[in-house]
Structure 1
Amino acid sequence: MASASDALASNISLSKFAQATELKKRLWFTLGALIIFRMLSYVPLPGIDATQLDLLTQQTQGGVLDFFNNFTGGALNRASVVALGVMPYITASIVVQLATSLSPQLNAIKKEGESGRKRLNQYTRYGTVALTAIQGWFIAVGLESFGAAQGLQAVIEPGMMFRIGAVISLVGGTLFLMWIGEQITSRGIGNGISLIIMAGIVARLPQTMVQLFESGRQGTIDPLRLILIILGVAALVLFICFMERAQRRILIQYPKRQTARGVQAERSHLPLKLNTAGVIPPIFASSLLLLPLTITQFAGNMTAGESAWGDFIINLNTYLRHGSPLYMTLYGAGIIFFSFFYTAVVFNPEETADNLKKYGGFIPGIRPGKNTETYFDYVLTRITVIGAAYLTLICLLPEYLIASMGVTFLMGGTSLLIVVNVTMDTVTQIQSHLLAHQYGDLIKKAKLKGRSR
């Protein structure tokens, strides 16, 4: 049954939106920050020949870098200063969160509250700089030798100065995007890092749709197959919306209290989302895969034909290309792992059970304390299995079907999941701001009436 707040939020009119000044400021700030991100994706690294690079990037089509390039809105193909996007930041945050779970010292810092969170964020930033520098160095070295077999050269003047300049530019670009993401989260609407990733995906959507329909016009794709792809994408969007709204509500009962209607027992529900981890597992899994594969892709181009090691790296990249069985196996395993890991991070059964016991709440038929904690853990494990299976299915099945049909369609399951999930989260936050604004107006009117009396 929908709550009163949900019903009120659904009835908010456009006139209320026009009156919400703070919300409009947040939306304009978010839009401006995303526009800056898109402008930066067209700023090339110093010393790059854009024309030669455009010809050479055709070699990596269909590989893992195409998947990475989709997340950055084409910035990688253009060798932009934000070519690495926010992926190093996400990878660093994964490492810090894993270390926090394994290290008692870092776990103690996490429990310090706001000060501990700031220290962990600082460690994440340090890790971002280190990872970006490592990836940036391999990208710079790989760009120098990129296209040597074809007699083309993407770098105008190869050498140490180009490498140092490229690394500094890439580190600065990633840190600037990280800062923009944090500013969007605090001063805008939605999660800034997720919105930046979504903006990169959506930016390539028009080009993808044009390519798809052009293939249908030229007869490369059968018209029936094209219609099936469009219907399949629409069905996936509806399925994602349904699964993201799905909840397991646990009945919570509180002791009987004296009210105006007599002695009554208060009841409420603790909602547990079927997909508690949200869009984090696919982003984390892809980030961990893209970190070494970006390095080996450019290292393979750099050492191709020079040694057995270079040939081994090229073969490894072939087996781990986007859509290959090995890649999809590792990607699916990463999604399942991070679904359970991140769910354990965001929901603590022991802490929730202790809070319920402190305020006198209990689950009917379950003893407070340890038994409640065990019950929470049991329910959470069961729904996380369903959530992890759902995420794996959404991310892998569409890409397998598209690969088997021979269609080049970059809006795969992972991209679609991120776009729909982030959009839903942003719309929910907009509704929350509108609802808070409406309640604020009601409170002001009530105060004015009280003063007039």
Structure 2
Amino acid sequence: MSNSLVNMFKIEELREKILWTFLFLVVFRVGAFIPIPGIDPEVLKLYFLSQSNSSTIGLTEYLNFFAGGAFSNFSVFMLGIMPYISTQIIFQLLMLVVPSLKKLTEDSAGRKKMQQYTRYGTILVCLVQSYVVTVYANSIPDVMTLGVLPFTLIAMLSVTTGSMFLVWVGDQITQRGVGNGISLLIFAGIVARIPDSLVTLFRSVQSGILNPIVVLVVFAMFAAVVALVVYEQRGQRKIPVQYAKRVVGRKMYGSQSTYIPFKINPSGVIPVIFASALLSFPLQIAASLGPEIRWLQAVANWLDPQGAPYLIIYTLLIIAFAFFYTQVSLNPIEMAKQIRENGGSVPGVRTERLEEYLTKVLNRIVLPGSLFLAFIALIPTVVQKFFNFPASVAMLLGGTSLIIMVGVDLDTMSQIEGIMKMHHHDGLTSKGKIKARNL
């Protein structure tokens, strides 16, 4: 392992990518502590301490997990990258009902236009959410050092600029660094909460609120769940494909056998991120405007992240996005068309029924994969309700945070493995590759 780490930094290309990634993540973490102009940080800190047992703080803790604590700091990055993800979801759903948008993504020029539209939409979402933040700040006594109107304008401009800057940072990580930039920003925000959560856990044990034996049992369960998540992320179903002899130009290609690797969870962490982003948008609005509007306060209480309604909606969204994203990324009709055009066939399946067979296989593997993701999403509630763990600690031991951390880590390691193997070096694992599990 030590030799692999040394080799990793010997490769100039990989070393530069890692340094760029580290630099941008540092910028993200520094920005999480820069407050919006016109906010008194000390008053804000005292307010949250005095409201530590209220439902609003529970919602704040939930939103903090995706912004690395920036939300409770009222920083310029307090909205994080979630407005961009929410806008992406909106456009993905619009493509289902607006054929012209779907046709636009068929060529590179159209995809660039779609990216521009997504960014414009992100600005609108940021403006709405940032205005909601100003209303929330106005409900906190003595926290604003400016008048309502100037603070509203400055806060909306600062927070919107901060989120758009994070979109740019995510793109730079993807282009210059290692891994998917947007996912890594969410990953960094979750990991940044670990030290505070461990301190909270230690204090709970020290004060006698938690039994040390119970803590060890929960952490053993946590290790088992991590192993299951890794197994699920790497599991594959291989579909055998045979290609007959064919002539291309003046060359004849012999028959060959290969396979299509279908992952148990083809969409990875995308359904979890999408479901979280889609719920965090109305959740933030309801929580922020709740003190001013009574029915929104009722909505905020109803959408409590630890409550049954939220968990049911969250579970259904994960399953729906798992099927939706799989159909978009792995289109059975296109796959069947390419197999036929190249003279291929699946043993035991008639050629005209290839689409039906591939769709059936995908549905069979996506359903248990999505149900497993939904099961993981319920773990924080179980840990908090039955073992009396603090909310900040329970959120780290399962649910969205665990799936994102494991999924992003595996994807990033796979990319590093690919670069190292391309330069004829062993990978990070003992055998030089992260194995997929055949099922």
Where in structure 2 are the equivalents of 1:102-141 lying within 5 Å? 102-111=97-106, 113-141=107-135
Deviations 1:381-423 (A, max 9, x none): 1111011101100111343332332211131321011011100
Residue 50 in structure 1 maps to residue 41 in structure 2: yes
The reply on whether 1:339 has 2:339 as its aligned counterpart is no
Among 139, 154, 176, the alignment partner of 1:145 is: 139
Match of 1:78 among 59, 66, 73: 73
1:98 equivalenced with 2:93 (yes/no): yes
* AA aligned opposite 2:423: H
Q: Note if contact 2:56-2:287 (Cα within 8 Å) is conserved in structure 1.
A: no
Task: Report the secondary structure of 1:268's partner residue.
Answer: strand
Partner SS state of residue 252, structure 1: strand
CA offset digits 1:150-180 (Å, max 9, x no partner): xx32111231110000000011000000000
- SS for the counterpart of 1:269 is strand
TM-score scaled by length of structure 2? 0.90
| Contact 2:276-2:400 within 8 A present in 1 as well | no
- Conserved in 2, the CA contact under 8 Å of 1:252 and 1:363? yes
* Contact 1:71/1:201 (8 A) holds in 2: yes
What is the letter of the counterpart of residue 430 of structure 1? Answer: I
One-letter code of the match for 1:268? T
Listed one character per residue, the Cα deviations across residues 256-275 of structure 1 (whole Å, up to 9, x for unaligned) are 479xxxx9741111100100
Read off the aligned partner of 1:248 and give its amino acid letter. Answer: R
Return the alpha-carbon distance in structure 1 between the equivalents of residues 314 and 113 of structure 2: 31
State the Cα deviation string for residues 227-282 of structure 1 (Å, max 9, x = none). Answer: 11111111111110000011110001111479xxxx97411111001001111111
Determine whether 1:216 maps to 2:210.
no
Any residues of structure 2 matched to 1:249-288 within 5 Å, and which? 249-256=238-245, 265-288=255-278
Contact 1:299 1:313 in 2 (8 A): yes
Judged with a 3 Å threshold, the aligned counterparts in structure 2 of structure 1 residues 196 and 373 are, in CA distance, closer, same or farther, namely: same
1:314 pairs with 2:297: yes
Structure 2 residue ranges without an equivalent (≥5): 248-252, 426-439
Choose the corresponding residue for 1:348, options 331, 334, 345.
331
Structure 1 unaligned segments of length 5 or more: list them.
1-9, 147-151, 304-309, 440-453
Q: 1:350 to 1:197 in 2, by over 3 A?
A: same
SS at match of 1:180: helix
- Aligned partners of 1:100 and 1:110 also within 8 Å: no
Percent identity (aligned): 37
Aligned to 1:416: 402
Q: Which amino acid aligns with 1:134?
A: V
1:434 aligns with 2:416: no
**Aligned with residue 145 of structure 2, among 151, 156, 167:** 156
Deviates more, 1:35-44 or 1:283-292: 283-292
Q: CA RMSD in A?
A: 1.9
Report the count of equivalent residues. 412
Shift of 1:144: 1.2
- TM-score norm. by structure 1 comes to 0.88
Structure 2 SS opposite 1:353:
helix
C-alpha displacement of 1:437: 1.6
Letter in 1 for 2:344: G
Correspondences of 1:386-425 after superposition (within 5 Å): 386-408=368-390, 409=393, 410-411=395-396, 412-425=398-411
The amino acid across from 1:371 in the alignment is: R
- TM-superposed CA distance for 1:332, in Å, is 0.8
Corresponding letter in the other structure for 2:314:
Y
| Alignment match, 2:250 | none
Larger Rg: 1
Q: Deviations along 1:343-363, whole A, 9 cap, x unmatched?
A: 111111111111111111110
What amino acid is the match of 2:68?
G
Cα deviation for residue 61 of structure 1 reads: 5.6
1:201 shift after superposition: 0.5
How many Å apart are 1:12 and its aligned residue?
8.3
Deviations 1:202-228 (A, max 9, x none): 001011112112211221101221111
- Give the distance between the partners of 1:69 and 1:75, measured in 2 at CA: 6
Comparing 292-301 and 400-409, the one that deviates more: 400-409
C-alpha separation in 1, matches of 2:244 and 2:159: 58
Q: Give the deviation of 1:200 after TM superposition.
A: 0.5
- Determine helix, strand or coil for the equivalent of 1:251: strand
One-letter amino acid of the counterpart of residue 142, structure 1: Y
